Structure 1
Amino acid sequence: MIAEPAAEAGHALRAPSRLHAFNRYEIKYLVDRSLVDELRAEFRHRLDVDEFAGQGGYSVWSVYYDTPHLRFYWEKIEGLRFRRKLRLRLYGDHADDDTPVFVEIKQRVNRVTQKRRVTVPYREARRLCDERQMIEYGGSGRAFLEEVLGLVGGLELRPVSMTGYRREAYIGRNADVGLRVTLDHRVRGRDRDLYLGDPHAQNRFIIPPHLAVLEVKANERVPYWLTDLTARRNLSVVRVSKYCQSIEAFGRAPRSVHHVPETLTER
């Protein structure tokens, strides 16, 4: 497999040397593509483009794990103050056995999103999460992988859905250090062939292709210029979850009040 430049850069950034942990507030909006160019220009004026994103952004694919009764899905829908989910995440389009992927636990504690993850070869990630076998890993990451193994074994977790999209990423500078803004385009998913190395698997849009998901991630506060920008464009905060969207789009659960119809009429 020949990796795309953006994928190679992403893998270089995400070296498997230590446990990565993030605590942030997250706010999401749905953006019509007629507004994307205007927002992009504003972001490029006030923020730095993620140096690993390249000119056209980069692909993100995630395999989500859940219980046979979709416990993590229902915790999200019911809005539990503490909830979590396990996923494998690839920065790039396709993986082979040696491609670095993230093993991630993303959890919500009240209003704060916490994410912990380590990078391992895809072969080892599958051995841990699918075959439920401990893998070799040094340093603080080993305790995290033991936690993952306890989750997949104790809750009988299994892969249930996959999502993918093209991401543009911007990072704050000066007074906005810690701010991260992303625009996710062409949000797709599938409920079978949940293998990151399959270039021929069939996906479908789980969010209408004329809509992008704008995510604002901040350590403490969202700057005034950004809240003013979203207000002037009449953008409303939404509770859209790509994982839940995928589960509902493929009929695994009834569509919630937060579901975005995949056939939403284009404006």
Structure 2
Amino acid sequence: MLQRLRTPVDDAGHRLRAPSTLHAFNRYEIKYLIDVDQVESLRQEMERRLDRDQHCPDEGYNIWSVYYDTRRLRFYWEKIEGLKFRRKLRIRHYGDRFAATGDTPVFVEIKQRVNRVTQKRRVRLPYADALGLCDGRRMVGHEPGQRAFLEEVLDLVSRLDLHATAMTGYTRHAYMGRDADVGLRVTFDQRVRGRDRDFQLGAQAENRLIVPARKAILEVKVNERVPYWFTDLAAARNLQVVRVSKYCQSVEAYGLAPRSIFHLPAHSEA
């Protein structure tokens, strides 16, 4: 029987991200790697021009994602090689991971890249059902409109023999466009960390910084084009576009693949 999902008041991000049972996004995504001492002034610029995500408190909110891949890291290498069509499967949780139970709502997501456009499709499920689908490889209870997507996920994990490979976590501040900038989303991700085992959300496991603590990831997501005011701002601040994947960084930080952008020393964080 499908359980009715409740959204805890302190579970930042859920209500905004799940007005329906199946979400689909088509967007362009641009990432910048910035120094953490730039974050405050850039956030002030965003506060002037954009609306803060209404479920983003002053201190930001946490995002935890478990990524699935093949034994030979097919999805990782598709990203590294820059294939025009590539995808990732993940379970994503917003909020305090230690408070997660089997009833906690999470998202099962397929994120794919088609040429320059990022497409994301996802459904919200109780955490226990998400694990049953992705780890147990069985169909789970669902709401109307979800079945086709769940069948696609089930086919992927079964046909490609996917398994949980890496976990990432970070603290996010998010801003939404208004008026002429509707569809624009700007996020700042800090304390980006990950691990390669113990993938249960509530596990008392060691995490490692996968992006240097002195760096943050600024990401711009747009439906059509980046506003002129932002490109001017990026030029004035000398912001450099980077190709960085948190999943790939986690894979590399733990030596699962033989390359790394940052060559970070081992360093643990909760």
TM-score, normalised to structure 2, is 0.92
Q: Counterpart of 2:242?
A: 238
Supply the AA of the counterpart residue of 1:64.
Answer: Y
Q: Counterpart of 2:205?
A: 201
Q: Counterpart of 2:47?
A: 44
Q: Assess, with a 3 A threshold, how the Cα gap between structure 1 residues 14 and 232 changes in structure 2: closer, same or farther.
A: closer
> Which of residues 125, 143, 162 is equivalent to 2:167?
162
Q: Assess, with a 3 A threshold, how the Cα gap between structure 1 residues 181 and 16 changes in structure 2: closer, same or farther.
A: closer
- Residue identity (%): 66
Supply the AA of the counterpart residue of 2:263.
Answer: P
> Which of residues 72, 79, 84 is equivalent to 1:69?
72
Displacement of 1:6 after TM fit? 4.1
Displacement of 1:230 after TM fit? 1.0
Q: Assess, with a 3 A threshold, how the Cα gap between structure 1 residues 180 and 6 changes in structure 2: closer, same or farther.
A: farther
| Local SS of the residue matching 2:131 | helix
> Which of residues 89, 92, 102 is equivalent to 1:89?
92
| Local SS of the residue matching 1:131 | coil
Question: How big is each residue's C-alpha offset from its partner over 1:18-70, in whole Å with a ceiling of 9 and x where there is no partner?
Answer: 21000000000001012111101100000000001112110000000000100
Displacement of 1:17 after TM fit? 4.0
Q: What stretches of structure 2 of length at least 5 have no aligned partner?
A: 1-6, 266-270
After TM superposition, the structure 1 = structure 2 runs for residues 1-267 of structure 1, keeping only pairs within 5 Å, are: 6-7=10-11, 9-15=12-18, 17-94=20-97, 95-198=100-203, 200-256=204-260, 259-262=261-264
| Local SS of the residue matching 2:144 | coil
In structure 2, what is the Cα distance between the partners aligned to 1:117 and 1:151?
A: 14
| Pairs aligned (count) | 257
| Local SS of the residue matching 1:175 | helix
| C-alpha contact (below 8 Å) 1:4/1:92 kept by paired residues | no
Instruction: Provide the aligned C-alpha RMSD in A.
Output: 1.4
Question: How big is each residue's C-alpha offset from its partner over 1:76-112, in whole Å with a ceiling of 9 and x where there is no partner?
Answer: 0000000000000000121211100000000000000
Displacement of 1:4 after TM fit? 8.1
Q: Assess, with a 3 A threshold, how the Cα gap between structure 1 residues 15 and 236 changes in structure 2: closer, same or farther.
A: closer
Supply the AA of the counterpart residue of 1:215.
Answer: E
| C-alpha contact (below 8 Å) 1:176/1:223 kept by paired residues | yes
| Local SS of the residue matching 2:199 | coil
Supply the AA of the counterpart residue of 2:153.
Answer: V
Supply the AA of the counterpart residue of 1:136.
Answer: G
Displacement of 1:16 after TM fit? 7.5
Q: What stretches of structure 1 of length at least 5 have no aligned partner?
A: none
Displacement of 1:5 after TM fit? 5.2
In structure 2, what is the Cα distance between the partners aligned to 1:46 and 1:6?
A: 26
Question: How big is each residue's C-alpha offset from its partner over 1:117-141, in whole Å with a ceiling of 9 and x where there is no partner?
Answer: 0000000000000010001112221
In structure 2, what is the Cα distance between the partners aligned to 1:89 and 1:262?
A: 25
